[in-house]
Structures are given as C-alpha cells and as structure tokens.
Structure 1
Amino acid sequence: MIYCQNVKNNKIKLWTRQHKNVLKEIEEKGEYIVKKDYIKEKNDTIADYYIKLYDWYSSKADKIVSRPEGVSYPIWLSTSKELSLQPVEGTVILELEVDIRNVVLTNFEKWGYVVNYWYVPINKEDEIKHKEELKKYNIYDESALIMSSKGNFYPLLKNKIINSWERIFEVNDKNPGMTQATIWQIKKEWIVDILYK
C-alpha cells in the first residue's frame, strides 16, 4: 500500500535538486544515473562515509525495486514540493512524474537515524529500552559500535542496530511529510517541470 498524497493513476510526483550538469546529461543521453565519482565529488572528505551508507541502502532497496544494469546508487527525491530542497547556485529542481513501481519510499526521520549509525526504534518504549541497554554496557555513543572496533566487542548490539535500519522502509499515512523517495535513474520523459534559481 502506498502512503503518499500525490499518487494518482499509479504515478507519483517527486522533486529533486540536482547540479545543472545533471540536466545537461539528461538532455544529451535521455537519462541520468548516479556514479560513485559524483558522490565523491559532492561529499569531498566525507564521501567514504556516505558511500558505505549508500552501499547498504542500495542492497536493501534493490530487493524492493530492482536496479537496472549498470546502476549502483539511488537518486534521492522529496515526495512534497513544499519540503523539497530549494535551488542554490548552479542547481536545478526537477519535478518528475514516475510510475510508483519504480520508486522506493522511505521514512525521512528514520533515515536520519541510519545516517548517524543509530538504532531505529519500533516506538518510544523500544527506544527507552534500547538506551537502557546501552547504558548497562556504558556505551554513550552508539555510532561507535558501527564506526569503530568497539562493535567487535558487542557484536549482538552492533547487529541489532544494523538490522533495525530496515525500518526506514516502513512508511505510513499518519505523517506523509516524513516520506522521501529514491529511484535508480531519471528518464527524460519523467520530467514534467524544471525550476531554475
């Protein structure tokens, strides 16, 4: 079941901010896919951090919507025009209309937990229980369980955190503003509007 207000006739409207060269590539090639070099260039010194996250995300998202051959990483989009990233110098906002079968929906707030290498709780009670468990082991920075060798000493906790990340794929209609999307490519025919700065 799809929990987005802007789905009509199995199509969903999405918005993404991209470098202006992405639009040029779409116009020349008819499509755009993310390359590892783009992630490295955009994220500079923290690129490896994001590549590790995107590798995890891509392997999970591929089970929901299969990646086309030659595609490694997703393109991130907003499901709300009002909440989408605004244009900055050298960028464009693309408004797309995409068949819902090509879209992976995730919970924006839960993705924030994953980006910080935190446990994604089921609910408030579960979050409190998890924090109490960390406290019991004198762990005050749970991201260290993923980012450092500390996780080797607590493999069950480390796995518990990583396994919780799959909850980002649980979206609901109670808070549609917390829904975001990814697709594996942008096809020229999916673009319905281009907003320039």
Structure 2
Amino acid sequence: MERSTWHLLEARGALTCPASHGNDDPTFQQAYDWMKASMNDAGLRAPAESLTPWWCWVRREPDHPQPYIEDLRGHEDPVVLQLSIPSNLVALLCFDLWHFVLNRWYVPASDEDDVDYDRALETAEEGSEAALRLEERLKKSWSAIFKLDQSQVDMGPFESKSIQGCFWTLEHSHVTAVVERAGLDSYEET
C-alpha cells in the first residue's frame, strides 16, 4: 500500500476500503460482487454496503514467499504490511481457482460433471429456465475456491497452493511488521 495509507492507518487505528477503491473493471465486477456475497454468506459481513474487501497474500508459491515487486507496481511510495489477522475475520481462497470466478469458468466436481455441464451449456437457450439453472450451478461450483485442502480441479498439493485472504477491516493491531520497498529483496518470511 502507499505509505500515506499506512500513515492514515496509524492515525485512525482501522481502515475499510470503499468500493470506489476496489476493482473498477466492469469485466470482473460480477466476480468481486460474488466474493462479497460469499463472505457475507460465511458470516463475514461488511461493516457497510459501500465497501469492498481488502485482499492480502497468505502464502505465495513455495519458491517465492516474500511479496513480489510486481505487487507494488503503480505505487509511488509503497510499504508492505505483514499481518496477523484472526482466522474468524478472513476468508481464505485458492489464488489459482479465483481465476475460474474471474473468467466465469465452471469448477467441475469430476470429469463426468465437466462433460455434463458443457453438454447442458450447449443446449440451453439464453434466458431460459435451463440457462438460469446453469448460472446457479456455475456460481455454486465456485465455492471450491474456499476448499484449500482439496480441489475439484487439480491445482497441485495443498503445500504448493498460493492462498489469498479477504477481510473487511484493516486494523493497526493486526500489523506485525512494515517492510520498506528497499527491504523486499532481503525480506525473509518469519
């Protein structure tokens, strides 16, 4: 995040993220709306309707545990926060499966399920009852992104999965370290 946002967090003690600071790409808006609804359904309710969740890395690929320099693109004066957030305040998800949601891909439960869904998709007429059921089935399949210990789509063993977290309020008390941009090359996960 920008250093100015970090200073604001220090001054206020907690920050939420207005929807205007979220993903404004209309291509992905439905995916982000789905995530917000999923968090709500899981009991992680937004403090206000006009918010979008904060996103964080919980774990990156095993060969690269520290933040990527690419994550800092577009920031003028960035800092990276190391957080310790109580598990009941954060939704954990598989980064790779999140792309199924972003791209509106079906997450099949099996090879047979995948074939069945594709067959049904080919025959459903737009706006029909069958198309509406397929839309529900598609969105229900996305819940697989939260099942980190297994996957309906082979994304590798649990230990190699990149995991992200979504939460509503960034609390100053959750910050355990502030890593300066210059320190990222030498930053080691503790």
- The whole-number CA distance in structure 1 between the counterparts of 2:171 and 2:163 is 22
- The whole-number CA distance in structure 1 between the counterparts of 2:44 and 2:172 is 20
CA RMSD of aligned residues (A): 2.6
Runs of 4+ in 1 over 6 A off after TM superposition: none
Which sits farther off after the overlay, 53-62 or 109-118? Answer: 53-62
Task: Give how far 1:68 is off.
Answer: 4.9
Letter in 2 for 1:35: P
**Match among 9, 33, 52 for residue 55 of structure 1:** 33
Aligned residues: 163
Task: Give how far 1:151 is off.
Answer: 4.2
- Confirm whether residue 76 of structure 1 aligns to residue 55 of structure 2: yes
- Confirm whether residue 131 of structure 1 aligns to residue 118 of structure 2: yes
Letter in 1 for 2:17: V
* Contact 1:79 1:181 (C-alpha < 8 Å) held by counterparts: yes
- Confirm whether residue 112 of structure 1 aligns to residue 96 of structure 2: no
Partner of 2:164: 180
Task: Give how far 1:21 is off.
Answer: 3.3
What TM-score does the superposition give when structure 2 sets the normalisation length?
0.72
What TM-score does the superposition give when structure 1 sets the normalisation length?
0.70
Task: Give per-residue Cα distances to partners, 1:50-91, cap 9 Å, x unaligned.
Answer: 443222211111222432522632111111261644333423
- The whole-number CA distance in structure 1 between the counterparts of 2:143 and 2:103 is 14
User: Within 5 A, what are the aligned runs for 1:148-159?
Assistant: 151-153=126-128, 154-159=131-136
* Contact 2:9 2:172 (C-alpha < 8 Å) held by counterparts: yes
**Identical aligned residues as a percent:** 19
* Contact 1:65 1:102 (C-alpha < 8 Å) held by counterparts: no
* Contact 1:113 1:120 (C-alpha < 8 Å) held by counterparts: yes
- The whole-number CA distance in structure 1 between the counterparts of 2:162 and 2:109 is 16
* Structure 2 stretches lacking a partner, 5+ long: 151-156, 182-190
Which sits farther off after the overlay, 106-115 or 173-182? Answer: 173-182
Letter in 2 for 1:21: S
- The whole-number CA distance in structure 2 between the counterparts of 1:21 and 1:74 is 19
* Contact 2:22 2:52 (C-alpha < 8 Å) held by counterparts: no
Change (3 A) 1:50 1:185: farther
Task: Give how far 1:106 is off.
Answer: 1.4
Partner of 1:195: 179
